[in-house]
Structure 1
Amino acid sequence: MVTAGKAPVIIILGPTAVGKTALSLKLAQKLNTEIISGDSMLVYRGLNIGTAKPTAAELAAVPHHLINILDPGDVFNVTMFCDKSAALIKRLNNVNKLPIIAGGTGLYIKSLIEGYQFNAAPEDPQYRAYLENLALKRGRLYVFSLLRDAAPQTAARLHINNFRRIIRALEVYKYNKETISRQKFTTGNDDLFYNALVIGLNRHRADLYKRINKRVDIMMTEGWLTETKKLLRDGVSPQAQSMQAIGYRQLTEYLQNKITLETAVEQIKTATRHFAKRQLTWYRKMPYINWLEIDNLSLDELLGKTYALVQEKFDYR
């Protein structure tokens, strides 16, 4: 089934809590293939509940990759993801398997399938001056918060006192984001680095937000707070990249007596809803996504529609 040319791969993406894990598991079993996680936080050991990591039974049912490969204090980035994913795709193709990349940090997936390489960003004196003036007006902590929101993994490695590097990090982030935005897009896969079938799952906004709120409540009952306590007790820094993930940051603030637990939970729900909205905004930059509206579909019906797309794309029988 795997032929010469661009390496084939399936990508299943969509906003958080939409239902990507369930579909990817069913599809992987049907295709007798393996799953590569496209989520920047599933790489960390010990961050299970708050990242909605597949359960032990799910991980045992289908071979998974890029899950539980790093300690919580380690750093992970888009370049590492692209390098590791490319090697996995090649290895799976070599044994005639069609890899599935499930979930996904938008920047990671876009960079992988479009073959984007991050180059050294040139200096931007005008933008630097803007940030320096902003620091004078609103404080360095405010500028640092901009970096933490835009690139938490980078912010986790920097200290507020190293303001020069904070400015440079924002400068690099701005350049990379704008460079990707300027790339030529097509309505098909002609310009993609991979022969990729990209499937996007979506739900009505109200239903998606209801699922997000419910999932946060379930995570709390499953022991998310206890999990966060253990990570901190084991010596993971609150500033670590992993602890900047939504939920862990708010629960850490509760444990530091900065906010109430009720406030932390509400902030988690709000931040997750905002994150889902940002994900959908990012995916609009990927016009080759095949969107499926899944509100009224059972899992079996969704699997059938997805499998039909696979058959059409790859002449799969």
Structure 2
Amino acid sequence: MEPVVVIAGPTASGKTSLSVELAKRINGSIVSADSMQIYKYMDIGTAKPTEQEMSGIRHYMMDEVEPDENYSVARYKERALECISAVIKDGRRPIVTGGTGLYLNSLIYNINFSETICDESLRESLKTEAEQHGSRHLYEKLLEIDPEAASRIHENDTKRIIRAIEVYTHTRKTISEHIRTSRIEPPPYKYIVFGLKWDREILYRRINERVDKMIREGLVDETRRLVEMGFDRGTAMQAIGYKEILPFLKGECSLDEAVETLKRNTRRYAKRQMTWFRRIREIIWLDMGEDTDLQDTAEKIIHHCIERFGIIL
């Protein structure tokens, strides 16, 4: 079974830089597991790596679709597996890198989405309920039918709440039950999962600094261009980094207020990411700090694979 290294971590944790360092050492290519970097034209707000940051390493699963397209985890898994296969056929080592837990789980646990349901009318009805009564109203519905899923989903994550209710409405089985039964078939690859762990205060400072850098690099103009292109209502524009700038563009708040909201929301998102990663039983944690040498960390990953799994990358 071919090995696939996975590098998971919260936003601003250095995943891309470490992945590139590792790829240089093992003749690797990177497959992104980021639910927003798949969208075109959204570069600054998603922290998409620049050509310079890629350092000549091939990156897959970026700039795949238009910002107004819905992109499901089922679609991600299918395309990611195609990319992993292409990397291996090219004689390279695939490195899956990202912070979207659902995308990572779809690969690590081989979750089968072949029987997914799509009921647009129900979705629209539930969206209207959320708009009229608030997301908490839908969250309480989910608590009644699937408390297990509710414990994993934030009460403001309307999209995933609606999805869980939709699955139960059509199958009378909770989405948690579907996920459990869909994991029966083992994955086609040996996923070796590494997680990046930072001191919380240092990580939060890095997040604040990254947001300031995004503003300097033109996040406001990037958001404005997306609006002018007609992408102000799509799923992608609900991403952290864009939804906070939109009120400023509409004159509903100052830029300073928008930036502070963006920093707060990003910190909260990082906390949720870490909660998700801790549920990955197989994860191998790597302690990170401001003085961490990424070249040394890449070597640690290589040596760990040899010592623990007998796998030479």
Q: TM-score range by the shorter chain?
A: 0.7 to 0.9
Aligned-partner SS, 2:196: strand
8 Å CA contact 1:12–1:103 kept in 2: the answer is: yes
Unaligned runs of 5+ in 1: 1-5, 124-130, 155-166
How far is the alpha carbon of 1:173 from its aligned partner?
A: 6.7
8 Å CA contact 2:164–2:174 kept in 1: the answer is: no
Q: Residue 299 in 1 paired to residue 294 in 2?
A: yes
Name the CA shift for 1:173/1:255 in 2 (closer, same or farther; >3 Å): farther
How many angstroms apart in 2 are the aligned matches of 1:315 and 1:112?
19
- Aligned match of 2:236 in 238, 242, 253? 242
Aligned-partner SS, 1:149: coil
Task: Tell me the amino acid that sits aligned with residue 274 of structure 1.
Answer: R
Q: Residue 310 in 1 paired to residue 305 in 2?
A: yes
- Aligned match of 2:192 in 190, 197, 200? 197
How many angstroms apart in 2 are the aligned matches of 1:278 and 1:177?
20
How many angstroms apart in 2 are the aligned matches of 1:52 and 1:81?
19
Task: Tell me the amino acid that sits aligned with residue 261 of structure 2.
Answer: Q
1:179 aligned residue: 177
How many angstroms apart in 1 are the aligned matches of 2:240 and 2:132?
24
8 Å CA contact 2:30–2:96 kept in 1: the answer is: yes
8 Å CA contact 1:202–1:291 kept in 2: the answer is: yes
Task: Tell me the amino acid that sits aligned with residue 233 of structure 2.
Answer: Q
**Percent of paired sites with the same residue:** 34
Q: Residue 275 in 1 paired to residue 269 in 2?
A: yes
1:150 aligned residue: 157
2:23 aligned residue: 28
| Total equivalences in the alignment | 286
- Aligned pairs for 1:85-234 (under 5 A) are 85-118=80-113, 119-120=115-116, 139-142=132-135, 149-150=156-157, 152=159, 169-172=163-166, 178-179=176-177, 192-234=187-229
How many angstroms apart in 1 are the aligned matches of 2:249 and 2:200?
32
2:41 aligned residue: 46
How many angstroms apart in 2 are the aligned matches of 1:172 and 1:8?
35
- Aligned match of 2:4 in 6, 9, 12? 9
TM-score (norm 2): 0.81
Q: CA RMSD in A?
A: 3.3
Task: Tell me the amino acid that sits aligned with residue 45 of structure 1.
Answer: K
How many angstroms apart in 1 are the aligned matches of 2:39 and 2:23?
23
Task: Tell me the amino acid that sits aligned with residue 62 of structure 1.
Answer: I
Name the CA shift for 1:204/1:176 in 2 (closer, same or farther; >3 Å): farther
2:144 aligned residue: none
How many angstroms apart in 2 are the aligned matches of 1:15 and 1:80?
23
How many angstroms apart in 2 are the aligned matches of 1:144 and 1:249?
22
Name the CA shift for 1:215/1:101 in 2 (closer, same or farther; >3 Å): same
Aligned-partner SS, 2:99: coil
How many angstroms apart in 1 are the aligned matches of 2:47 and 2:257?
21
How far is the alpha carbon of 1:51 from its aligned partner?
A: 0.5
Unaligned runs of 5+ in 2: 120-125, 140-153
How far is the alpha carbon of 1:60 from its aligned partner?
A: 5.8
Q: Residue 290 in 1 paired to residue 288 in 2?
A: no
2:68 aligned residue: 73
